[in-house]
C-alpha cells in the first residue's frame, strides 16, 4: 500500500472543523459532568476516594482517557469527517466504604446517566431560548444564533445517547452495576463471567449499537419536534 492509497482511506475533504469543534466541546463537557457526578455521589455516600484523587471536578483534563477521548474521536474524524462518540476514564469507587453498600452502588451508578439527562434538558431549554431570540434578531445575529443552535443540538443529542447508553446492563456500563445489586450474588457472578472482556465489547459494538440506532432516531425526531413546536 503506497502513500496515496493510504491517504485515500481518510476523508479529509469531509472534515467539518465547526462540527468537530462542537463535538469535542460537547463531549468534554458531558464526560466531565458525568464523571464528576459519579465522584460527587460516591463522596455523599461515604467514599471519598475519587474526591481525594481530584476526580470530583469539571476539569476535563483529569477525566481524559487516551483511547476514548483522544484516539477514538481522532480516528472517527479521519475516516468519517465528524466524530460521533467517546468515553472518559472511569472514576475510582470503593463500595466497601459506602455507608449503605447496595444503596450507594445504585445511587453512584445512576448519578452519571442522570447528569447527562439533566444536561440534555438544559440544552433543550437553551434551544427554545435561542430560537425565540433569533426570530427577532438581525442578519448578523442570525448567523451566531445558527452556530449556537447547532452546538446545542449536538450537546442535546450526545447527552441523550450517553444517558441511555450508560444504562445498558452490560459491564462496564453503569447499568450493569445497578443490575448487579438487584441480582443475587450467584446471578451477578454469572453475568460478569458471560460479559467478560472482550465479549462485552463485541456484544456492545455488534449487537447493542445496531439495535439502539432506530431508538435514537425516534427519540431525536421527537426532540426536534419539541424544539420547533414549543419554541
Catalytic residues: 35
Contact 208, 170 (CB under 8 A): yes
- Find where cell 466531565 sits: 32
Peptide bond into 172 cis (omega under 30): yes
Contact 18, 82 (CB under 8 A): no
Torsion, Cα of 16, 18, 19, 21 (10° steps): 120
Contact 50, 36 (CB under 8 A): no
**CA distance readout (Å), 117 to 47, 156, 165, 184:** 24, 9, 11, 29
Which grid cell is 42? 460516591
Peptide bond into 134 cis (omega under 30): no
**CA distance readout (Å), 201 to 157, 172, 179, 198:** 23, 9, 18, 6
Amino acid at each position: 500500500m503506497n502513500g496515496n492509497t493510504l491517504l485515500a482511506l481518510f476523508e479529509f475533504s469531509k472534515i467539518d472543523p465547526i462540527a468537530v469543534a462542537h463535538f469535542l466541546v460537547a463531549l468534554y463537557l458531558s464526560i466531565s459532568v458525568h464523571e464528576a457526578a459519579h465522584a460527587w455521589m460516591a463522596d455523599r455516600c461515604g467514599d471519598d476516594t475519587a474526591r481525594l484523587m481530584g476526580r470530583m471536578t469539571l476539569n476535563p483534563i483529569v477525566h481524559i482517557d487516551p483511547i476514548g477521548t483522544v484516539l477514538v474521536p481522532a480516528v472517527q474524524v479521519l475516516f468519517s469527517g465528524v466524530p460521533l462518540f467517546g468515553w472518559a476514564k472511569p472514576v475510582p469507587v470503593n463500595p466497601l466504604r459506602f455507608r449503605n453498600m447496595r444503596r450507594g452502588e445504585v445511587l453512584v451508578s445512576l448519578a452519571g446517566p442522570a447528569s447527562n439527562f439533566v444536561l440534555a434538558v438544559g440544552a433543550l431549554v437553551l434551544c427554545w431560548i435561542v430560537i425565540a431570540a433569533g426570530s427577532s434578531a438581525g442578519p448578523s445575529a442570525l448567523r451566531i444564533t445558527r452556530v449556537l443552535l447547532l452546538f446545542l443540538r449536538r450537546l442535546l443529542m450526545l447527552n441523550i445517547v450517553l444517558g441511555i447508553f450508560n444504562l445498558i446492563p452490560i459491564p462496564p456500563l453503569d447499568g450493569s452495576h445497578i443490575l448487579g445489586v438487584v441480582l443475587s450474588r450467584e446471578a451477578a457472578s454469572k453475568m460478569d463471567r458471560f460479559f467478560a472482556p472482550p465479549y462485552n465489547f463485541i456484544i456492545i459494538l455488534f449487537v447493542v449499537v445496531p439495535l439502539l440506532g432506530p431508538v435514537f432516531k425516534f427519540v431525536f425526531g421527537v426532540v426536534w419536534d419539541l424544539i420547533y413546536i414549543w419554541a
